[in-house]
Structure 1
Amino acid sequence: MSSRTSPARPQRLKEPLAPKMGASLPTAGLLERDLEDDGVYRSLEFRGSDLSSRDADAVEFETCRFVDTRFSGTKMRRGGFSNVELERCDLSGMAARSASMHRTLVSASRLTGMTWSECGFKDVTFDSCRADLTAFRFSTFKNVVFRDCAMPEINFQNADLRGVRFERCNLTEAQFSGAQMEGARFADCVLLKIGGVTSLRGVIIKSQDAQGLVYSLASAMGITIEE
C-alpha cells in the first residue's frame, strides 16, 4: 500500500505585533520630559518633546507614544523601547548600544545617520521612514518589517536579518557584509550597488528586484559587464 504525502503548505508570514495602548495617554510633564540614567517611563505621551543631545544609561520606555519628538544626537546605552509608537520623530544621529526595541512601530520618522549597534529588535515595523546612512551593525532582528523606507547606504554588517521583510524600500548601496539572511524577503525594492551581496544566500526575492543585483553579483565574482 503506497503512502501519499500531502504537499507542504506555504509558510505564512507573521506580521509584527502592534503596540497595545489606550486611545489616549497622559501627557508627559516637565519632570518626565528629560532622560535620566536608569529612568523608567511608562504609559506617557511625548508630543513635540525635545530629547535631543542627551547621554543616558539604561533608559526604559514602556507603553509610550512619541509624536513629533526629537532624539537627534542622543546617546543611549542599554534600555530601549517596549510597546511603543514613534510617529514623525527625529532620531537622526542617535547612537544606541546594547539597547532594544520590542513591539514598536516607527512611522514617518527620520533616522538619518542613526547608529544602533549590537541591539535587539523584535516585533518591530519601520514604516515610511527616512533611514539613509543608518547603521545596525551586529544587531539582531526577529519578526521585523521595513516598509516604504528610503534606506540608501544603510549598514547591516554582521547583523542577524533572518526572516526580515523589506517591502518597497530603496536599498541602494546598502551594506550586508557578514549578515545572516536566510529567509529574509525582498519585495519591490531597489537593490543597486549592494555591498556584501554574497551574504544574501537563502533570501527570497521577486524576479524584478533580482535584476538590480546583477551588477553587484558580477562585481563580487570579478565579472565585467560591457554595454
Structure 2
Amino acid sequence: MARVFSTENTDPFEGKDSFDGETFDGLTLERADLSDREFCNCVFRRSKLSESRWMRTRLEGCVFERCDLTQANTNMLSLRGVSFSSCKLMGIDWTNIAKFPDVSFEDCDMRYNVMDSLALRKTRFERCSITESVIAATDLAGAVFEECRFMGTRFEDCDLRNAQFPRSHDLFVDPAKNNVKGARVPLETVMLLAASFGMHVLGFTEKDSG
C-alpha cells in the first residue's frame, strides 16, 4: 500500500532517493533540497515547497495539486507526464530543465516566469496567469493556452505555429519576431498589434469613424 506523508513527518525525503506511488500531503518544507531524486507516480498536495531545489531530479507520472513552488530551482529537472493544478509557480526559471519535457498546467499562478530555448510543443496551459514573463526561443507549436492571461509577457523568437489561445487575454505577439503561422489568437490580440503600429481597427476603436 502506498504511504501518505504529511506534516507529521519531519522530512520524508531524508535518506531516500527513490519514491514510487506515494502521496505527500500538507508538507511545509520551504528551501528543501530534493535534488538527485526520482519520483514515479507520486502526488504532491497542499505542500509549501517555495525555493525548493529539484536539481537533476526525475518526475514521472507525478501530480502537483495546490502546492506552492514559488522560486523553485528546476535546473536539469526531468518532467515526464507531470501535471500542475492550482499551484503557485511564481518566479521560476524553467530554462535549464531536462530536454523534451512532458508537462501540463491548470489554474496555476505563473507570474514572473522565464522560459528560454524549451521544447514545449503541444503543451496545455489552462486558466493560468502567465503575466510579466519572458518566453524566448521556445517551441510552442500546437500548444494550447486556454483562458490564460499574458499582461506584460514577451514572446521572442518563438515557434507558435498552430498554437491556440482561446479566450485568453492581454496577449501580444509580434509576427516579425515569432513564427505565428496558423496560430489562433483572440481579436483583442489583433487590436493590440494594430495599436502597436498606430492603427485603429474599424468598428472596435474610438477613432474608427475617420
TM-score range, shorter chain: 0.7 to 0.9
* 1:214 has 2:187 as partner: no
1:197, distance to aligned residue in structure 2 (A): 6.7
Sequence identity percentage: 20
Aligned-pair Cα RMSD in Å: 2.7
- Once residues 184 and 27 of structure 2 are traced to their aligned partners in structure 1, the CA distance between those partners, rounded to angstroms, is 40
> Contact conserved, 2:162 with 2:184, CA < 8 A, in 1?
no
- Could you tell me how far apart the structure 2 residues matched to 1:41 and 1:31 are? 17
Looking at structure 2, the residues matched to 34 and 80 of structure 1 have their Cα atoms a distance apart, in angstroms, of 14
Q: State the match for 2:21 in structure 1.
A: 43
- Aligned to 2:177, what secondary structure does the other structure show? helix
Q: 1:76 to 1:197 in 2, by over 3 A?
A: farther
- Richer in helix (by share): 1
Q: Secondary structure at the match of 1:204?
A: coil
Distance 1:107 1:56, change over 3 A: closer
| TM-score under structure 1 length normalisation | 0.75
Q: In structure 2, what is the equivalent of residue 147 of structure 1?
A: 126
Q: Are residues 1:133 and 2:112 paired?
A: yes
Whether the aligned pair in 1 keeps the contact of 2:157 and 2:179 (CA below 8 Å) is: no
Aligned 1:119-198 pairs, distance under 5 A: 119=97, 120=99, 122-194=101-173, 198=177
Q: CA deviation at 1:159?
A: 1.5
The residue identity in structure 2 corresponding to 1:205 is R
Higher strand residue share:
1
Kept after mapping to 2: 8 A contact 1:127/1:148: yes
How many residues align? The count is 198
**TM-superposed deviation, 1:173:** 2.0
Per-residue deviation at 1:217?
Answer: 5.6
Describe the shift of the 1:203–1:32 C-alpha distance in structure 2 as closer, same or farther (beyond 3 A).
farther
In structure 1, the gaps of 5 or more residues are 1-23
Is 1:122–1:142's contact at 8 Å kept on the other side of the alignment?
no
